[in-house]
Amino acid sequence: MTDIDGQSTATGGVSRRDLLKWGGRAGGVAAAAATLPNMAEFLLGSTPAYAADKPLNIAVIGQQMSAQSDQRAWEGMQAWMKGMGVDKTWKMNLTDAKGDPGKLVSQIQDAVTAKVDAIIVLFATLTAAHAALDSVKSSGIPFFSIDSGWQDPAIADLTSNNYILGGAPSQYMADRLLGAGKSKAKIASIVANFHHGTRKRGKVLEVLLSENTWIEQVDSRVIQYDGFYEKTQNIVNDWLTRYGDELDCIWCPWDEPAMAASEAIVAKGLQDKIFVVGADGHPTALQRMRDGGAKWPHKATSAQAFELWGAYCGWLVNEIVGKGGDAKRLVPVPIVEFPTPLLVSEVNIPGKDDQPWSATDLYYLYQDRVLKGMKG
């Protein structure tokens, strides 16, 4: 059963690479249980019948449900629930803060007042929610977060390593420029500080630039979430007017601004001169990379496993809240990070029917090639 804004509508033995593979190949949790050793134990836990029979009342609070990331994490959670059968016994009350941190705080407080069995927040700004988090801690209600930056009393924050996520496309940018024979290069960057993840990616870019002084950053602009697409296009159009084909690359903190930048570059006919890097592996961005090939400026991204975050959060709720499992044993480190394969245009972009995060990372492709020979 799922309520939306209050309206009722009624580890053992599995590696992180295995987890990524089953999601893309099997197409769902039911098929996955039959395809990998110990996957049934991983998905179902020790007492699946008990978990399926115990009703839970769970508050799910999204910071911005219009965002693809929030939607995909929520869809992954719902898919896991359906595959497990707990969608018939769990009542999920989904609310949307619509990007308002104050509204998010109120919704957390409301969940505490309602004495729900668990609280899950999606992509939240928790640094300004300490009073609400104190209420959660005092209530003893199990609290989980998805890509919100771990804050006490969260049992776990499901996320990616954003330093790696920012580093891989940034390093690809530098490598591509070197491969093009550049001894001097010019880039511009779009920066987003409103979320801990995009903020960290921007900081990694600055470290890379400090180590590669032959790359000149001619400008850097900060965007907010509201109106980011149009804002990015306006900024990029300004850069193209000022710098033209002197620019070599535009760095973006996630894929949707990268799409906006790419559109502006194509409109000016500069797609053979300027390339774009982004992050997240959003399906629409990947589709454009597939369709555009060499003529589409967006060349690299790192794919986040949003659906798996939602599914794994469901698993944790099942094990800890549904079965009374030991949270410290199940979550030995409170920040639970999933891999983010680096995807490069015309090299390892997954098929349109495959999950973005199911692709093999560019550097694992290199590794797999030599391992085959080493094994004989």
pLDDT, position 53: 60
Instruction: For residue range 217-254, list pLDDT tens digits in order.
Output: 999 999 999 999 999 999 999 999 999 999 999 999 99
Q: Which of 88, 76, 72 is nearest to 32 (CA)?
A: 76
Closest CA to 253 of 321, 196, 326, 181: 196
Domain 2-154+305-338 identical in fold to domain 162-304: yes
Give me the CATH code for the 2-154+305-338 domain, please. Answer: 3.40.50.2300
More confident residue, 115 or 34: 115
The arrangement of strands across the sheet holding 156-160 comes to: 7-8, 2-4, 90-96, 56-62, 118-122, 143-146, 156-160, 335-338
Q: Which residues make beta-bridge pairs with 146?
A: 122, 158
pLDDT tier for residue 286 given thresholds of 50, 70 and 90: very high
pLDDT at 51: 53
163-219 pLDDT tens trace: 999 999 999 999 999 999 999 999 999 999 999 999 999 999 999 999 999 999 999
* pLDDT greater than 80 at residue 309: yes
Written as six digits, the tokens of 121 are: 């927040």
Q: What is the pLDDT of residue 373?
A: 86
Task: Give mean pLDDT, residues 348-362.
Answer: 94
First and final C-alpha spacing in the chain = 53
CA separation, residue 359 to residues 255, 258, 373 (Å): 17, 20, 22
Q: Does domain 162-304 have CATH number 3.40.50.2300?
A: yes
Q: Which amino acid is at 326?
A: D
pTM: 0.83
Domain-by-domain residue ranges, the chain?
2-154+305-338, 162-304
Mean pLDDT across 75-90: 95
pLDDT of residue 162: 96
What is the chain's Cα-based Rg? 22
CB burial of residue 316 (10 Å; 0-12, 13-18, 19+): buried
HSE, CB side, 13 Å, CA atoms: give it for residue 72: 19
